[in-house]
Chains A and B, each alone.
Chain A
């Protein structure tokens, strides 16, 4: 097979060339810095390029949305970050944003309007569903069909924003029949990372939240735990390690599943 280069356009280069990209692809701190989630950023960006979507990234002009600061109670830092991001968006005339992180998604969608930032915000699961609906994804269903896959709902995609169907429809499009955990959709159990927990030790207790959730995922008998959030991915991956299942059970983002099914 030929080797293809997937080149991601940067907003600043597009602007210099006088081009206004259709979408901003917001990578988020995890997509940029977390080695595991970089793979998800790559898989999703490749999918967009594969489908000929006109998008660009901010690259080094990205900064934290302020979400973890806000949920850690530091409203001042949150607002400073948010106003800075809103300025950047204004500079590039950005109106449509795709994010690969439900936390960034929620913050842009629900919290930036209070500070004057109004955008059309799309989570990558929703964008993938749109590509499926438009018939732009030529998926080889045989790659995943017959595999045992469960899906863990990220709180900030699910309960926070009532998006339960998009990731499932995307998985379905890849020929996957999702094996639901007992606690799913609005009943889903958190992975334990939200509300800035990702960045701190858990309070004393009898168990780690991620262990509780991973056990539930493993009990379905699935060989792949699909997620759609960088924090969930870190937590479930830790849970798999703790259960010594990291060899036998994979933790994949839905974007990676789609990219694999596309053979890219």
Chain B
């Protein structure tokens, strides 16, 4: 009984802290712009493919498969964690055994996955320690990102050690009769076979508590680290932008203005009472959509985007990963003050300018290589163009060569300075 009470209080504390964190982050979403969500059939298909089947992670087959196995293992092992919570609260032992044949499958695959994850996470740690993976470096990669990575990997490693230990001691306590459903642990159970029963029993308790407490700690560390993607990536994929990569978002507010300008009478009649937008494009973090902010929370800083960015590859300052990380960092800075002082709060700083420079924004070729690679379907080019929209429409801050291209389009309907009549020139030479 006392164990149940202690467990209940620990669980309450865990959920409380977690709820507080989510509530705190959730409030920031109130200061973001709308993002329409529809077409659930297509969404679920994307979720199944990019999310569950890990299709984009697998674009890099070796390390992709490693990640996918860890992910699929997590899905199975999470069922075991749910069981531990039930056991902890009710004092039951392996409660889900009521699901008998299904349960055997869960335990069997969970045990295999624990072994696989243990090996893979060790490999990931070794990879970070001994292989210089280029995309793990870059101007935006501060020491904290490294610490985040090692902390998360270490905790997962310990989670798997405790899980296997738990299975081993459980098997030993039951005279190894579960060996056939514990393919990995049974192999190691002999380590415990020489120990007295009460020692094994204590070990079982230690592993049980170690595992569940690590889960509780991990869950509450995640929202403060780049590994928050454990929670946010699947929703982010479900809420993906579904339009072709080449399509930029429409600006209805601008359409109203343009139609009014081109045809004042007609457009005036169609005008509704919508308030004019406060701003065209994105200047600061409260100009982004809530999906852009979710993107930033789902970003694992894996750097696949930056590693394929033509601008970044050729030494330009632009790094698509930095754009996404800056959104998160700026919200971390401004969000609490927006909550405290309201939506009009200004601190004299902004996302564009203080975090992201015009030089970065103008280096983008909108080739969409970054968006194509992003395993959680972030669309960096649309964020970049939204920021360019701010620079151009609000600040009239255009690089001079682009300014002449734009004025050519305005004056003679082509990015170059040629009159429209010359558009028929090529036809006149059409003889062989």
- Residues on B with C-beta less than 8 A from A115 are 250, 255
A6 B431 Cβ-Cβ under 8 A: yes
| Partner-binding segment picked from A77-85, A170-178, A217-225, A238-246 | A77-85
- Residues on B with C-beta less than 8 A from A198 are 415
Q: Hey, what's the 0/1 contact readout for A150-177 against B, CB within 8 Å counting as 1?
A: 0000011001111000000000000000
- Residues on A with C-beta less than 8 A from B2 are none
Residue of A nearest to B420 (CB): A60
Residue B299 CB within 8 A of the other chain: no
A205 B314 Cβ-Cβ under 8 A: yes
A155 B359 Cβ-Cβ under 8 A: no
| Partner-binding segment picked from A16-24, A128-136, A187-195, A249-257 | A187-195
Return B387 CB to nearest CB of chain A, in Å.
Answer: 8
Question: Among B251, B363, B391, B431, which residue has its beta carbon within 8 angstroms of that of A202?
Answer: B363
- Residues on A with C-beta less than 8 A from B409 are 64, 66, 68-69, 77, 81
Q: A31-B426, A70-B248 are in contact. Are A209 and B254 (CB under 8 A)?
A: no
Return B390 CB to nearest CB of chain A, in Å.
Answer: 8
| Docked CA distance A29–B416 (Å) | 8
Within 8 A of B (CB), among A129-145: none
A194 B366 Cβ-Cβ under 8 A: yes
Q: Hey, what's the 0/1 contact readout for B401-432 against A, CB within 8 Å counting as 1?
A: 11011100110011110101111111101111
Residue B138 CB within 8 A of the other chain: no
Q: A110-B246, A207-B315 are in contact. Are A190 and B363 (CB under 8 A)?
A: no
- Residues on B with C-beta less than 8 A from A64 are 409, 413-415
Residue of A nearest to B259 (CB): A83
Return A158 CB to nearest CB of chain B, in Å.
Answer: 9
Q: A8-B427, A160-B246 are in contact. Are A206 and B314 (CB under 8 A)?
A: yes
Question: Among B359, B368, B390, which residue has its beta carbon within 8 angstroms of that of A203?
Answer: B359
A63 B413 Cβ-Cβ under 8 A: yes
Return A187 CB to nearest CB of chain B, in Å.
Answer: 8
Q: A29-B415, A205-B314 are in contact. Are A80 and B424 (CB under 8 A)?
A: no
Q: A27-B423, A42-B426 are in contact. Are A111 and B248 (CB under 8 A)?
A: yes
- Residues on A with C-beta less than 8 A from B258 are 76, 79-80, 83
| Partner-binding segment picked from B68-76, B197-205, B392-400 | B392-400
B359 A160 Cβ-Cβ under 8 A: no
- Residues on B with C-beta less than 8 A from A196 are 402, 405
Q: A76-B254, A196-B405, A199-B402 are in contact. Are A5 and B421 (CB under 8 A)?
A: no
B393 A212 Cβ-Cβ under 8 A: no
A3 B431 Cβ-Cβ under 8 A: yes
Return A59 CB to nearest CB of chain B, in Å.
Answer: 4
Within 8 A of A (CB), among B360-398: 362-369, 371-372, 381, 385, 388-393, 398
Residue of A nearest to B416 (CB): A33
Residue A182 CB within 8 A of the other chain: no
B429 A42 Cβ-Cβ under 8 A: yes
- Residues on B with C-beta less than 8 A from A192 are 310, 314, 365
Residue B245 CB within 8 A of the other chain: yes
B364 A195 Cβ-Cβ under 8 A: yes
| Docked CA distance A71–B398 (Å) | 12
Question: How big is the A interface, by class?
Answer: 35 or more
Residue of A nearest to B423 (CB): A32
Return B431 CB to nearest CB of chain A, in Å.
Answer: 5
Residue A38 CB within 8 A of the other chain: yes
Residue A247 CB within 8 A of the other chain: no
Return A51 CB to nearest CB of chain B, in Å.
Answer: 15
Return B224 CB to nearest CB of chain A, in Å.
Answer: 34
Question: Among A41, A80, A189, which residue has its beta carbon within 8 angstroms of that of B426?
Answer: A41
| Docked CA distance A181–B38 (Å) | 38
Return B61 CB to nearest CB of chain A, in Å.
Answer: 12
A79 B254 Cβ-Cβ under 8 A: yes
- Residues on A with C-beta less than 8 A from B262 are 80, 83
- Residues on A with C-beta less than 8 A from B59 are 187
| Docked CA distance A188–B401 (Å) | 27
Residue B340 CB within 8 A of the other chain: no
- Residues on B with C-beta less than 8 A from A258 are none
B365 A197 Cβ-Cβ under 8 A: yes
Return B257 CB to nearest CB of chain A, in Å.
Answer: 7
Residue of B nearest to A196 (CB): B402
- Residues on A with C-beta less than 8 A from B364 are 195
B415 A199 Cβ-Cβ under 8 A: yes
Residue B132 CB within 8 A of the other chain: no
Residue of B nearest to A115 (CB): B255
Residue B316 CB within 8 A of the other chain: yes
B389 A75 Cβ-Cβ under 8 A: yes
Return A42 CB to nearest CB of chain B, in Å.
Answer: 6
Residue A72 CB within 8 A of the other chain: yes
Return B236 CB to nearest CB of chain A, in Å.
Answer: 20
Within 8 A of A (CB), among B246-272: 246-248, 250-251, 254-255, 257-259, 261-262
Leading 8 A-B pairs by shortest Cβ distance: A160-B246, A206-B315, A73-B388, A195-B366, A63-B413, A190-B367, A205-B315, A73-B392
- Other than the given A68-B405, A189-B308, A212-B314, 5 more pairs (CB < 8 A) read A27-B426, A59-B427, A68-B409, A76-B254, A106-B247
A residues at B contact (CB < 8 Å): 1, 3-8, 10, 27, 29, 31-34, 38, 41-42, 45-46, 57-64, 66, 68-77, 79-81, 83, 106, 109-111, 114-115, 155-156, 159-162, 186-190, 192-209, 211-213, 264
B residues at A contact (CB < 8 Å): 59, 243-248, 250-251, 254-255, 257-259, 261-262, 280-281, 308, 310-311, 313-318, 359, 362-369, 371-372, 381, 385, 388-393, 398-399, 401-402, 404-406, 409-410, 413-416, 418, 420-427, 429-432
List 7 A-B residue pairs with CB atoms under 8 Å apart, sorted by A's residue number.
Answer: A29-B414, A57-B427, A64-B413, A64-B414, A155-B366, A199-B404, A207-B314
